[in-house]
Amino acid sequence: MKGYALTVALPKGRLFEKAYRALTSAGLDLPQPQDKRAMFFEKGDLALLLLRNADVPTYVDLGIADLGVVGKDNLVEAGRELYEPVDLGFGACRVSLIRRPEDHGPIRRLASKYPHIAELWLEQKGLSADVIKLHGNVELAALAGLADAVVDVVETGTTLKKAGLEEREVILKSTARLVVNKPALKLKAGRIRPLIERLREG
């Protein structure tokens, strides 16, 4: 954003605390978000944007934010070519194909929060199915018969177990990544390169 030396996009929700701690431990003097409903914070020459996980790649790719933290799952789903210099290691989960135990036939309708990942998987398997975009409680689509398979996040496996569903295939393994806008990396190398090095050192 104009007027700031560096603009950082962080996902609110489960990744926030660890992402915030990783960046501040690496020397970035980020503002402390106080108000839970606010989305924009500033401190000195730094701006902090709080976004939905899935929106972080868009803000970084279009250069509104110079860098951000996002789960690999949302990064692949966004389909944007971002510089992804550091695997931060936390936020581990997997995106998997999930079905009811009794479903073994061909997949005709597949529901997901990740329609792009679902399409990529179908293509890779040489399959075709209708992909339906959902926004949450995706397992319900398999249980209620909206779809005969779903592609969703599995973290601890508790949701699956409770729903009596089966994880049939791990499609991708995800952790939080540092993503950087490519022009910003060149223009603001003095700020961004040392941060990347410190994050790599852990």
Pick between residue 73 and residue 148 the one whose CB is nearest to ligand PRP.
73
Beta carbons of 23 and 82 less than 8 angstroms apart: no
The strand pair at 109-112 and 130-133 is best described as: parallel
What count of Cα atoms within 13 Å lies in the side-chain half-sphere of residue 15?
31
Please state the closest distance from residue 155 (CB atom) to ligand PRP, in A.
3
| Shorter beta-carbon distance to ligand PRP: residue 7 or 96 | 96
Least separation in angstroms between residue 185's CB and ligand PRP is 30
Residue 47 CB, nearest approach to ligand PRP (Å):
27
Please say which residue, 52 or 193, places its beta carbon nearer to ligand PRP.
Answer: 52
Q: Which residue is nearest to ligand PRP (CB)?
A: 136
Distance CA(171)–CA(192), nearest Å, equals 32
User: Which tokens is 2 given?
Assistant: 């104009």
* Shortest reach from residue 62's CB to ligand PRP, in Å: 25
Which run of H or of E encompasses 7? strand 6-11
Residues 168 and 8: their CA atoms lie apart, in Å, by 37
- Comparing CB distances to ligand PRP, the nearer of 66 and 73 is 73
7 versus 174: smaller Cβ distance to ligand PRP: 174
Radius of gyration of the chain (CA): 19
Shortest Å distance, C-beta 143 to ligand PRP: 12
Interface residues with ligand PRP (CB under 6 A) are: 136-139, 152-159
